[in-house]
Amino acid sequence: MTSADDRPTRSGASEPEAPLADLHAFAVELRRMNGEINRMTHGFTVSQQLHPTDVSALAAILDAPAPLTPGALREHLGLTSGAVTACLDRLERAGHIRRARESADRRVVHVYYEASARTAARDYFMPLAEATARARARFSETELTTVLRFLTAMNEELGGLPPARR
């Protein structure tokens, strides 16, 4: 398997790997990837007639290791209780989520991503999954392990930053 630094760039010329200290190159590529994912997410938002916050909520619900409560979702998204309630109302009306009271304490509500909505999202984002598979195929398992470690570390660092100041 070839390594990332032996592969041709978009221009077709081979380009050596950027020095580790080249923070600018990392920033450019991370912004570029973020922009491309945002572009696809915006298309999904429009196709499903959702608000951008709704898609962020759906991603949080999908990625959570256990069912979320509205309070946990509020904390994750940094929204007010009223904004989360409005978001969940929209998502429930659109058939993307369901709310359930499953504990002895009837005040506790859990939010679930509906199976039919998962199918719609999976169908829409299949090109992203296929592009990811093609990109992954260009790297060795060792390289992918390193990339995953980097992305995990970046998310940990970003998650520890304070919210933007106004």
Q: What is the pLDDT of residues 120-163, one digit of tens each?
A: 899 999 999 999 999 999 999 999 999 999 999 999 998 888 87
Q: What is the pLDDT of residues 97-131, one digit of tens each?
A: 999 987 777 788 999 999 989 898 999 999 999 99
| Dihedral sign, Cα of residue 144, residue 65, residue 26, residue 149 | negative
Quote the pLDDT of residue 7: 45
Q: What is the pLDDT of residues 39-75, one digit of tens each?
A: 999 999 999 999 999 999 999 999 999 999 999 999 9
With beta carbons less than 8 A apart as the criterion, state whether 58 and 121 touch.
yes
As a whole number of angstroms, the distance between CA 155 and CA 159 comes to 6
Secondary structure (DSSP) of 28-66: HHHHHHHHHHHHHHHHHHHHTT--HHHHHHHHHHHH-SS
Give the mean pLDDT of 68-92.
Answer: 94
Look up the pTM and report it: 0.75
- Give the mean pLDDT of the chain: 87
Quote the pLDDT of residue 111: 95
CA 126 to chain centroid, in Å, comes to 14
- H-type helices in the chain, by residue range? 23-47, 52-63, 70-77, 81-93, 115-136, 141-159
As a whole number of angstroms, the distance between CA 128 and CA 124 comes to 9
Quote the pLDDT of residue 15: 55
